[in-house]
Each structure stands twice: as C-alpha cells, then as structure tokens.
Structure 1
C-alpha cells in the first residue's frame, strides 16, 4: 500500500494530477485537482489510497490524512465507489458530511451526485457513530480564498476548467447551469470556481 507520495505536480487536469517523484510520474485522482495548481513550483505531500480491482489499479490522493480516512470509510458503504466518495469530499466540507451522518440528515447527503435516498440511508446506517476520530478541527477550511489573485487569469478558461471538473465528479448539465449565473459574476481561479460551485450546489 502506498501511504503517501512526495514530489512535484507536473500536470493538472479536471480528473487527476500527475506528480513527479524521482523521475516517475504518478497519476493521482483527487477531489479537486485544481487546488494543486498553486503548488506546481514546490514539493507537495499527497496522502494516497491505492484502489485495486481486477480491471483497475488507481491512486486516489488527499491533502490530509483525515480526508483520506473519510474516503476509505465511504468506500465501505454499499453503493459508494471511488468516484462517489471523491464527489462527496470535493465539497471541501467533510465536517458537514460527518455532521449530516451523525444527525441522519438524508436531505443533505442526497445533494451529492449518485447519492439517492437509499444510498444516503445506507451511509447513515454504516457510518453513524463510527466517525468519532474525524475531528472537524482537523479539516482545513477549503473555502477560504487563495492568495493567488484570480484577476491575473485571462478569458473564461478557469470557469471552463471548473465546469469540466464538476462533470468529472458526476454533476449533470442541468445542475451546472443552475449555478452558472452566480459563478459568471465572480472572477476566481479554477479551484475557487469549483469550491464555489460545490458550495452553491449543496445549499
């Protein structure tokens, strides 16, 4: 099992980042790949989970061990696969997810793509009372604005990339169109657009 990798982010796409470690490039699927764009010139540590199936060998990566831990817990729920777990973590608010599970808030959980009432109920049945080790204060507030100024970006490229990232997470055109007016009124970086869109989608 690969516990973490430390290296330089060489490529960022809507679905994954490529991390160069001593001449080897690792493809790592992450909840919001664009948060690593600001790290392209410095060494980063990504906590990884290696997913192995007969036809798949994939690495999933996270900023913190707590995010990774919640991802692994979600994978144990019937009906939740890696893509679904990533979509839940992409909200940047894992503490809200834990709170919803502990309070049996099915309505909140069904806002995530691929999570219907049956799956939401299964998440609560499987995980309620088992997330005590995930302390909310351990999670960084990913909705705080980045230091990088979005005004330096030209054109609509950041917004376009963010829309692609939302599609990868499983959100449909209809859902994305609902939040577009609000997003177009702001000048943000790609990862900020993704975070803002998810914030609006989960209201």
Structure 2
C-alpha cells in the first residue's frame, strides 16, 4: 500500500495530478478540494490510496488525512466505487458530508451527480454510527484538545497493532487521558496503556 506521495507537482488538472518523485511521475486522481489546495510547480505531499482491480492500479490522492478517511469510508459501502467517492468529495466538503450523514440529510447527498436516493440512504445508514461518534468526539473537544486527538489516534493505532481489541484500547486511552491529562506524548500514552493492561 502506498500511504503517501511526496514530490514536485509536475502537472495539475481538476481531476488528476502528476507528481514527480526522483524522476518518476505518479498520476493520481484527486477531488476538486485537493486541486484547489495544490500550488502548481511546487513540492507537495498527498495522502494516497491505491485501488487495485484486474485491469488497473489507480492511485487516489488527498491533501488531508480527513479527506482520505472519509473517502475510504465511502468506498467501503456496496455500490460506491472510488470514482463515486471522488465525486462526493468534489461536491461536498468533509464537514458537509459528515453533517449530512449525522443529520440523515438524504437530499444533500443526493445532490451529488450520479447519486440516487437508494445510494444516499445506504451511505447514511452504513456510516451514521461511525461518523456520529467521530463528530461528537470532535465537537466536544476544545481546539488544543483536538491536536491531542491526533496523538490519541496514533496511540490507538499502535495498541491495535500490538494486539489490543480496538474498543478496549479506546477505553484504556480515554481513562489514561482523564487521569493523567492531555499533555502526554504518544510514547507515554502507549506505556501507560501497556502497564494498565
């Protein structure tokens, strides 16, 4: 899996970019939001997802981890392929997608070209619990605590890799942050979690 591509932006189009990495040009499909954020001819870094089919290996790129995350959630739904995922991200911001799902606003999602009522309902039905949990957590945090949310996410990922069940790891990390405060590093969080298990 190619997690990201870091190089010089050699070519930019509203639907794709070519990034030159040490003389190799990677063609990467992008949403409009990424197109707007990229400065032509300069060095850039895109979060990427490699989609593999029998007849093609296609890279999809995003300027933020949040865009990539919502894209991966969207394409996990039956009937929503990568191109449809890009279309949704090109039409709505990450925040608008999250709000539409949380509020069960079928009309907003249906406004995206190529999305019918059934697909819009499926998107809401399959993602509302995942998104609601994320949005509520983010809304409840102050701005400094949102930065620490990244540290928590990194620690959670590490603990899951080490064999913790995700829900157990989440509860453990939350209780540590409550007890020790939110100024812990990733390493400190992991150490506390390993000691408490």
Which bracket does the TM-score occupy, shorter chain normalised? 0.5 to 0.7
2:104: which partner in 1? 104
Higher relative contact order (CA 8 A, sep 6+): 1
Instruction: Select the structure of larger CA radius of gyration.
Output: 2
| Number of residue equivalences | 137
| Counterpart mapping for 1:31-46 below 5 A | 31-32=31-32, 34-35=35-36, 39-46=39-46
**Residue 111 of structure 2: SS of its match in structure 1?**
coil
2:59: which partner in 1? 59
Could you tell me how far apart the structure 2 residues matched to 1:91 and 1:14 are? Answer: 13
> TM-score, normalised to structure 2's length?
0.64
2:10: which partner in 1? 10
CA deviations on 1:16-52 (whole Å, 9 max, x unpaired) are 1000001100000000264255x22321110000000
Unaligned runs of 5+ in 2: 147-197
1:190: which partner in 2? none
State the 1:91 CA deviation: 3.0
Structure 1 segments (4+ residues) deviating >3 Å: 132-138
CA contact (8 A) 1:7 1:21 kept: yes
Greater fraction helix: 2
Unaligned runs of 5+ in 1: 139-203
**RMSD (Å) for aligned C-alpha atoms:** 1.9
State the 1:103 CA deviation: 1.1
1:128: which partner in 2? 128
CA deviations on 1:126-149 (whole Å, 9 max, x unpaired) are 1011023364888xxxxxxxxxxx
CA contact (8 A) 1:9 1:36 kept: no
> TM-score, normalised to structure 1's length?
0.63
CA deviations on 1:142-179 (whole Å, 9 max, x unpaired) are xxxxxxxxxxxxxxxxxxxxxxxxxxxxxxxxxxxxxx
**Residue 25 of structure 1: SS of its match in structure 2?**
strand
Could you tell me how far apart the structure 1 residues matched to 2:37 and 2:3 are? Answer: 19
